[in-house]
Every structure is written in structure tokens, then in C-alpha cells.
């Protein structure tokens, strides 16, 4: 596996995309860094991570991406993170649609996937993951948690990364099979939960997702599909 370790960079997603534009890189090339100066989160947010304490990395997917949809890639990555936390670290986690990994109802990891298309097909995909590992306190982020907070242990970042990549490599052999595990780990699946939309706060039962990656909620006996920007979790 082609793993590049950097002392610092703006964002591992941006770094990987920029290197890919210069020359073609092999499938599963991974860049990880001790410090991001402009770490990116979802919907234009920033991803802040204490220097040297956490895993901030991006993986390049180039093989068979034409057969995948953006949501399938999201599902495979989400399921792989949860499986890996459970198998290797005995940490229970859930997927909070669309991009968060929660443990004990707090955010342990976030995923930012950037797909590069040729027409309707994905030519390659840059999967960025931020996992809170050894950081102990999170200023102004009351909903964040780390592996150290959960287990009381410190972890070696590189070993964690290698184990994760091995599991991902294996899971990519059967992407559809892995994606089928998604509901098993979906946060609040089949449970009544409060949400906020432009119409106000309401309750719905999480029934799953549609193929485009919209969240399916049962609201007053109707099944409604919500896009990411239409909905906020109130948990
Ligand atoms: C989110 O939860 O908002 C997504 C966070 C994704 C953060 C990771 S850290 C490594 C990669 N590089 C970035 O700039 N962002 C992602």
C-alpha cells in the first residue's frame, strides 16, 4: 500500500487531489498528516484536530469506481469504519446519516468524500476521514469524543491506519455486500427521533435510505425522503 506521511498540509483531501492532478497515483494511495492547516468538514465547515493527536487522512479510490454511486462509496466507508472500531478496538459505534460516526452518542469520526466524475461515472474518489484518537478535550465541541475518552488508552496512529486500510481493501472486494450492512449500524434505525426542517421541529421514525442517499423517515404514516440540506438531527 502506498502510504504517505506528512508533517503538515492544508487538507489531506486537497493534497491528494492536487497530487492526482500532477500524476496518476495507484488505487488506495493514502495521505495522512500530523497537522492540517485548513482541514475541511462537511458543508463548508472546518475540521479542527489537535496536532499529532488524531488520524486525519485521505484515501484514493480509482478501481471500479465507475460501478459505484456516491452514496454506495459513503456506505462502504461508513460500514468499514464501524466494523473496524468494533473488531480491532472493541468500540461500539453507529453511523449517523449522512457522514458522522458516533460512539456513546458523541462524534468520534467524520467523513468527507469528494468524487471526480467523467460524465455520470466516478473516475476517482478522494475519501477523507478524521478520527479523534488521542485528543482528550475538545474546546467548543461538546458533542465530540475520542478513542482515548472512550477506552482510556492511547493508540499508535500508524498502526490504526494500516489496520483500517487492510479492512477497507478487503471490503472493496464485495462493495454491495458491505453496503448491505449499513442499516445494522444506522443510528436510530427504526426509532422515533426528533428532527428540524424549514417547517420546524418534528418527529419521525428512521426507516432507512433511498439509493440516492436520502434519509427515509416515516412521518405521520407517510414515508418521506429528505436530502442532507433539508434536515437537522435533534438528538
Ligand atoms: C465532517 O464530519 O464534517 C467531515 C470531516 C472530515 C475531516 C477529514 S480530516 C482528513 C480529510 N481532510 C480534510 O480536509 N477533511 C477530511
Q: Are residues 128 and 217 in the same domain?
A: no
Domain with 223 in it: 192-234
In this structure, are 68 and 19 located in the same domain?
yes
On whether both 95 and 165 belong to a single domain, the answer is yes
Distance CA 192, CA 73 (A): 27
**Residues 20-57: tens digit of each pLDDT:** 999 999 999 999 999 999 999 999 999 999 999 999 99
Pair (36, 95) in one structural domain = yes
Same domain? For 128 and 211 the reply is no
* 146, 169, 185 - which closes a domain: 185
How high does pLDDT run on average in the chain? 97
* Shared domain check, 66 and 20: yes
How many independent structural domains does the chain possess?
2
* Average pLDDT value for residue range 83-108: 97
218 CA to centre of ligand 1 in angstroms: 30
Indicate which CATH number applies to the domain containing 121: 3.30.930.10
pLDDT band for position 1 (cuts 50, 70, 90): confident
Do 107 and 215 reside in the same domain of the chain? no
Question: To test ligand 1's pocket by mutation, which of 15, 47, 81 has the most ligand atoms within 8 angstroms of CB?
Answer: 47
* CA distances for 148 relative to 48, 90, 121, 131, 220, angstroms: 17, 13, 40, 11, 41
User: What atom in ligand 1 is closest to the CA of residue 129?
Assistant: 8
Q: How far is the CA of 107 from the centre of ligand 1 (A)?
A: 13
Residues 175 and 196 in one domain: no
Q: Point out the domain boundary residue: 168, 185, 202.
A: 185
Which ligand 1 atom is nearest residue 45's CA? 3
162 and 97 in a single domain? The answer is yes
222 Cα–ligand 1 center, Å:
34
| Residue ranges of E strands in the chain | 3-6, 30-33, 55-61, 94-96, 100-103, 106-118, 121-131, 192-197, 200-209, 215-219, 222-226, 232-234
Q: Please say if the pLDDT value at position 235 is more than 90.
A: no
What per-residue string of b and e applies to 22-40 under the rule 16 or more CB within 10 Å gives b? eeebebbbbbbbbbbeebb
Tens digit of each residue's pLDDT (9 = 90 or more) over 59-75: 999 999 999 999 999 99
Å from CA of 193 to ligand 1 middle: 26
Q: Are residues 155 and 102 in the same domain?
A: yes
Is residue 25 located within the same domain as residue 90?
yes
* Ligand 1 neighbours by CB, cut-off 6 Å: 11-13, 36, 39-42, 45, 47, 56-58, 99-100, 110-112, 128-130
Dist. CA 158–CA 35, nearest whole Å: 14
C-alpha of residue 33 to centroid of ligand 1, in Å: 12
Q: How far is the CA of 219 from the centre of ligand 1 (A)?
A: 32
Q: Do 95 and 176 belong together in one domain?
A: yes
Distance from Cα 127 to the centre of ligand 1, integer Å: 9
For 154, the grid coordinates are 492511547
Neighbours of 64 (CB within 10 A): 12
Half-sphere exposure of 183 (CA within 13 A, CB side): 12
pLDDT, tens digit, 9 for 90 and up, residues 177-212 = 999 999 999 999 999 999 999 999 999 999 999 999
Q: Which of 12, 51, 112, 127 to mutate to test the pocket of ligand 1 (most atoms within 8 A of CB)?
A: 112
Amino acid at each position: 500500500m502506498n502510504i504517505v506521511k506528512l508533517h503538515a498540509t492544508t487538507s489531506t483531501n486537497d493534497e491528494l487531489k492536487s497530487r492526482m492532478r500532477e500524476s496518476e497515483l495507484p488505487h488506495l494511495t493514502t495521505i495522512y498528516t500530523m497537522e492540517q492547516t485548513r482541514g475541511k468538514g462537511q458543508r463548508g465547515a472546518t475540521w479542527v484536530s489537535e496536532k499529532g493527536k488524531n488520524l486525519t487522512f485521505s484515501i484514493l479510490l480509482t478501481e471500479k469506481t465507475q460501478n459505484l454511486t456516491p452514496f454506495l462509496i459513503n456506505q462502504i466507508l461508513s460500514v468499514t469504519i464501524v466494523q473496524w472500531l468494533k473488531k480491532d478496538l472493541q468500540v461500539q459505534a453507529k453511523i449517523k446519516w449522512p457522514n458522522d460516526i458516533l460512539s456513546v452518542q458523541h462524534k468520534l469520526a467524520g467523513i468527507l468524500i469528494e468524487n471526480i466524475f467523467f460524465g455520470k461515472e466516478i473516475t476517482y474518489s478522494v475519501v477523507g476521514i478524521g478520527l479523534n484518537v488521542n485528543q482528550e478535550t475538545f474546546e467548543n465541541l461538546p458533542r465530540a469524543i475520542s478513542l482515548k475518552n472512550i477506552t482510556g488508552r492511547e493508540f499508535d496512529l500508524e498502526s490504526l491506519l494500516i489496520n483500517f486500510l487492510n479492512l477497507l481493501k478487503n471490503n472493496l472486494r464485495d462493495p454491495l455486500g458491505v453496503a448491505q450492512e449499513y442499516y445494522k449500524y444506522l443510528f436510530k434505525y427504526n426509532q422515533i427521533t426528533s428532527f428540524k426542517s424549514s417547517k420546524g421541529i418534528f418527529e419521525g421514525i428512521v426507516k432507512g435510505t433511498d439509493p440516492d442517499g436520502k434519509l427515509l423517515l416515516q412521518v405521520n404514516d407517510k414515508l418521506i425522503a429528505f436530502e442532507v440540506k433539508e434536515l437537522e438531527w435533534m438528538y
